[in-house]
Amino acid sequence: MKRVEKHYMSILGLVLALVVILSPQAQADLFLFSFSPINYPGSAMPAQLSLEVKDLGYSGGVYKVEFIFKNNIAPYASGQALDSSIESLYFEDGTLLDLATVISYPAAGGVVGFAEVFDSPSLPYGESLDPPFTQTTNYFAVDADNPAPFKGVNLGEAVGIVFDLQTGKEFDDVISALYQGFEDPLAEEVESLRIGIHVKSIHGEPDQSFILTPVPGAVILGLLGLGAVGLKLRKFV
């Protein structure tokens, strides 16, 4: 009987943890998103790619938001994380005013280095999306420094891109623009923001591009294992 009680207590604990994650009272200054493949549908990469959008508040008279791109070493249902390097990041439309800062989050002994791109950057394979994602807004794109495979975001690393927002815009406006980008990027008089990434040096797979998507519900269990209780997640309907 005690074993049965312990079993139900474990289930109850999991349910309570999920309630904490999904609660409207959870922290609202950090949102988590995932990526979907564009040119290689069978890719195993999306399971290890994620984006955190972090509210930095007002600084120097402007509102700032950080986009943190991660190449995660995470538990897998099958296999393990692929050696790979996030080498380019692309932003289309939205509430952004100026790319302010690039922040490196290297692994021990690693190096992460990115710089802005000023030569009409275009998301590789983005023309196959509907609507196409071909040109960034105001050259809002960054590439890994040379040598790119080493300076890109490799396993266990991340890079943060800090943007100043347009006058009158705040964190909630950025999140709303991202969800509008998922739903209808071409809606008239409604701001949208789409984000794409290009990944190279993928073990056993070709180079690939990905488009930002909402976090799948199944990822929640993984988040519990990674200690992400307190993140405020929104389900895209």
What DSSP string runs through the chain? Answer: -HHHHHHHHHHHHHHHHHHHHH-TTS-SSEEEEEEEESS-TT-SGGGGEEEEEEEEEEETTEEEEEEEEEE-----SSS-PPP-EEEEEEEESSSEEEEEEEEEEPPTT----EEE--S----TTGGGSSS-----STT-EEEEPSSHHHHSB-TTEEEEEEEEEPTT--HHHHHHHHHHHHH-TT-TT----EEEEEEE--TTS--EEEEEEEPPTTHHHHHHHTT-TT-------
Q: Please report which confidence band the pLDDT of residue 237 belongs to, taking 50, 70 and 90 as the band edges.
A: very low
Is the model more confident about 67 or about 237?
67
**Is 44 a residue whose pLDDT tops 60?**
yes
pLDDT of residue 75: 53
The average pLDDT across 218-232 equals: 42
Is the model more confident about 83 or about 226?
83
Render pLDDT for 85-134 as a digit per residue (tens, 0 to 9).
999 999 998 899 999 999 999 999 899 999 998 877 899 999 999 999 98
pTM of the model: 0.80
What percent of the chain has pLDDT above 90?
A: 58
Q: What is the mean pLDDT of the chain?
A: 80
pLDDT of residue 98: 95
**Is 218 a residue whose pLDDT tops 90?**
no
Task: Look at residues 82, 220, 67 and name the one whose alpha carbon lies nearest to residue 156.
Answer: 82
Render pLDDT for 123-172 as a digit per residue (tens, 0 to 9).
999 999 999 998 898 889 999 999 989 999 999 999 999 999 999 999 99
